[in-house]
Structure formats: structure tokens, C-alpha cells
Amino acid sequence: MGQSLSVLASVGFGHQSSVFQRNTPIPRAASDVQYNGRVVVSSGESVFPMKLVDNPAATIAVIIAVIAISTLGYHWGNRSARTLPVPASFQVSGDSMAPTLLDGDTCKVLPIQPPLRVADVVAIRWDRQSHVKRIAALGGDTVDLAQGRLIVNGKRLEDIIADRADHEFVAPALVHVSSNQDHWSRPDATDDWIVYTHHNRHKADLATPVMDDYPINTSVRRVLNPVDRLVVKMAVVEPYHQQATAESSVFKAVVYNGSGFNPTCLQDGTARSRSPQTDAPNRVDVPNQVPAFVDASHPIAIQIKPSLDAMYQYHVYREIEYRDDRPSERVHYPVVLKEDEVFVVGDNVPVSVDSRQLGPLKRSAIVGRVTESRR
């Protein structure tokens, strides 16, 4: 049976004074890491009880012996912690990697081979605790900020991550955007375009750009930021599967992408703001111009016949955008990493404690690469 290691997906609040989290699950003592049922007790605990004796000389001898044994145990414990084998699996504790990894998920972890890459998810240790984080930058990389977003070597981190194939690593999960079918409408009853209007539940359902809300952070208060990496998925309503099969599975679409609007198409029911036309194996001619009714608050339009409205449901998601809106006094951008350093982040960007507060960490602190998870 493989070893198991409880790894903290550390959740904290120090990097944004406007952020707080109530009812956060409290993991077991972070320094008590269990390996095959044996608990390695932190040096802060008293593990050598003293017994008073009447002989002063004997008392002094006992005290010296206890100090010596404690010191030896402390160094042995540190050495053992550094040489513990890479566990075969671990259980995530906390929500700092949500929605990709959730509290209680069981993950596999492997030794670091082949070399690490940006976007890899790793088990990493600091402050005598094991954490699970995503690598944002490696030795020699430069991490900077642009409008609050993390920029690595001049490119947005989420765009670097998107360039990797999903099968190579634990890819970030999509964040569901609060929406329903009533948020889709046609500007003209006879028009071929159906348009999504984003209703902001934090603004009395007013139409606004999609914000970087995290549904799991129900008790977090903070300033929300507009996002521009959107995803739309079409799903066939159950009674219409056979009829939908006879229809074309590729539809023209326009999706907001921050700097403008990306003419693209839904291939296999999905379109992204970053997807160029060439991503579709069975390409169709996408619209030459954006419909006039599309803007930041109406960021998605799909060209589909009104007669097909009852056949499909639409679901809106956003990609995780990595930000640092309240930089720590310990981190001064741009950060140039030394060859033996890594910069790590959590996917639950608003609440994760990581290199945005701690600065770069030693590469040697990485225990292994996380390869898959189950819940």
C-alpha cells in the first residue's frame, strides 16, 4: 500500500486586508505529518516529561539529559523530514487550490522527473508544513505585474498555462459563472444571433462584465475584477439528442477577449475567448464583424437559428486569472528568480498563501509532482 501524506492547500488572508474567510476548515496540526500511521511530532511539543527529584545534583543531571536528548531529537527530526521518501499519494486539506483540487481530494504524487515546467502542480514544504501549489515561474524567470495580473517573462501566466496540453499536467479547472437560460436572448426575434448578458449577483443583477468571483468563497469579501478569458459550452437538452445529431455541431460565435472580440466557433459544443478559428478541425467561416449588440457586459454571441432554441442549453465559465492585487511588503515586482528558486501560486487566487506573500521558495523544498486527483 502506498504512503499517504496530508498536504495543506494553505488558505490565508494576509495579502488582502479586505479579504476574510469564515468557517474555514482547520486541518490537523500542520507540523504533525503522518507517514504510515506514525506521527512525526513537531519540536515545539513536549515529548520528554520531567519528574522532580529531591537531589539537586540529580535534578541538574536530569535537566541536562533532557536538553541533550531534545536537541538530538530535534536535529534527527529535521534530518528525517528532509529525507522522507516521496509519498505515493496525499489528501488535500483546505481550499487554496479550488476549484482544481478540493478539500478531501486524494492526489497522486511522483518524483520530479522529467524536469519541472511552469504550470506543474507540486507538493512543496515550508514552515514544516506540506502544501500543494502550482508553479508560476522557475529559476531565471521574471515575475511582474500588469494591471494586477501576474506576468511571467512578459506573458500572462494563464496564457502560458493554456499553451500546455491538458494531459501533461493537472490543468486548472474552469470557474462556473453564475448564469441561467434567461440570460440568453435575441436582440431581434428573427435574428440568427443569441446573446449572453452577464447579470452580476453582487450588483443587484445589473448587467456588468464577468468578474473574478469564486463560488466556493462564500464568506470572502474583496474587490472583484473583470475577467476576459471566457468559455461557453452548449449542451443538448435530453429529448433532442437524435435531432441535434442531424444538425451541424459547429456554430459561429463571438467571445469577448479583453482587447476586443474573438470571432470563433463552437467545436464539439465549446468555444473560448482565446480560441482562434484554426483550433476547429472542421472549420466554418466565422463572422467578419462583431454584431453591434455585443460588448463587455454582453460578452458572448452564438449564431444559431431561433427554431433550435429549445434544443440547447448554454453554460458560461471563466478561466482562472492569476493576480496579485495587494502585493506583500516582502515581494517587490519585478521578481527575478535565482536558479534554485520557484514561484508558486494557488488556483484559489484570492485566498491562497503562496509566493505572492512569501516570495520565491527553494526548489529543493518541492516533494514531488502532483499527477492526478480523485474525489
- Domains of the chain, with CATH numbers? 4-141+327-374 (2.10.109.10), 175-318 (no CATH)
From residue 7, how far is each of 14, 179, 189, 354 by CA, in Å?
A: 20, 34, 54, 14
How many other C-beta atoms lie within 10 A of the C-beta of residue 245? 9
Q: How much is the average pLDDT of 270-276?
A: 77
The grid coordinates of residue 210 equal 464577468
Query: Cell 515586482 maps to which residue?
Result: 333
C-alpha angle 272-277-283 in degrees, rounded to nearest 5: 115
Cell numbers linked to 156: 500572462
Among 38-42, 92-96, 371-375, the range with the most confident prediction by mean pLDDT is 92-96
Q: What is the mean pLDDT of residues 250-275?
A: 82
More confident call, 168 vs 61: 168
Q: How far apart are CA 349 and CA 214, in angstroms?
A: 9
CA distance readout (Å), 149 to 157, 191, 264 = 8, 38, 25
Measured at the CA of 203, the angle between CA 200 and CA 208, to 5 degrees, comes to: 45
Mean pLDDT of the chain: 77
Tens digits of per-residue pLDDT, 129-152? 889 999 999 999 999 999 999 999
What's phi and psi for 60, nearest 5 deg? Answer: -60, -40
Across 176-195, b (16+ Cβ under 10 Å) vs e yields: bbbbeeebbebeeeeeebbb
- 109 neighbors 23 (Cβ within 8 angstroms): no
Confidence check: pLDDT of 335 > 90: yes
Please report the pLDDT score of residue 294 as a whole number.
85
d(CA 239, CA 262): 32
C-alpha triplet 160, 162, 167: angle, nearest 5°: 120
pLDDT value at 285 more than 70: no
Task: Tell me what pLDDT residue 241 has.
Answer: 75
Residue 62, pLDDT score: 42
Confidence (pTM): 0.75
- The CB-side HSE value for 83 (13 A sphere, CA atoms) comes to 6
CA distances from residue 320 to 18, 46, 106, 244, 360 in whole angstroms, order as listed: 20, 43, 22, 31, 21
Measured at the CA of 217, the angle between CA 214 and CA 219, to 5 degrees, comes to: 140
Closest to 340 in 3D by CA, of 366, 360, 368, 363: 363
What per-residue confidence (pLDDT) applies to 247? 63
Report whether pLDDT(298) > 60.
Answer: yes
